[in-house]
Chains A and B, each alone.
Chain A
Amino acid sequence: MSEADERAIVRSEIRWAVVAIAAVSVIMLAVIFAAIAMHINPPSNVERINPQDLHLSAEFTEANLGTKVEANGQITARIVATQFAFVPRCVVLPADRPVTLRFSSPDVIHGLLVSGTNVNTMVVPGYVSQVHTVLRKTGDLLMPCHEYCGLGHSEMSGTIRVVPSAQFRPGPDGRVACAAK
């Protein structure tokens, strides 16, 4: 076996490495495209909040939870994730309009996804998790807690009720709640 053979082996490995790097680059470019052009980024607002008196904070007091249309027209749903329920359990949001979901936890780690969408975030005590999205499908979407939060974890599930934009009618205070079904 000669030096030349050894060089041929190294050459073939380098040739393959180029193919491998090209393949990975395609993925990287697609991901960057989604981030910049489609605005699909991981929820990463790094917003601190004291979990020990969350219920006393201006934003996550019980009276301020649920969906609210702000004075500037922005639609925000505020939800507390706590052992073992989302408060409120059901949230109404309009389809085809930009909405913001804001979550926080007063106790342990929770997490959630909204089925059939890219809405997915961890809820870590000490932080506000924020997701901007536009919901396209109407109906009751599942919003389960997807992170182990104690023995009652399996019971912890909420609903995102997406209604056609025309049926989304906030009250005089800008609030909308799920009607009992």
Chain B
Amino acid sequence: MHEDDHDGLTPAQIAEAMKATPRGALALAGITTGLLMAAWLAMYFLVFLPRGSVG
């Protein structure tokens, strides 16, 4: 690492913040991805399939 690049964070600070990480990220990404799946399935069942077969 180039010394100009140091961001001033100490290993102790990072270790402390990392204790709970990534529980929040997992929850956030999980919820948003879950909503995404729900939206996809809603489109699939409520719009796509009722429009009938083609091929």
Residues of A within 8 A of B (CB): 1, 5, 12, 15-16, 19-20, 23, 26-27, 30, 34, 38-43, 116-120, 131-136
Contact = CB atoms under 8 A, between A and B. Distances in A.
A40 B55 contact: yes
Q: Is the interface of B mostly helix, strand, loop or mixed?
A: helix
Contacts of A118: 48, 51-54
B53 A19 contact: no
Contact of B55 (A5, A39, A116, A135): A39
B18 A34 contact: no
Contact of B33 (A15, A20, A40, A131): A20
A5 B18 CA distance: 9
A117 B41 contact: no
A141 to B, nearest CB: 12
Size class of the B contact interface (CB-based, 8 Å): 20 to 34
B54 A30 contact: no
A1 B52 contact: no
B10 to A, nearest CB: 11
Nearest to A40: B53
A8 B30 CA distance: 19
A36 B15 CA distance: 52
B14 interface: yes
A30 B26 contact: no
Contacts of B15: 1, 5
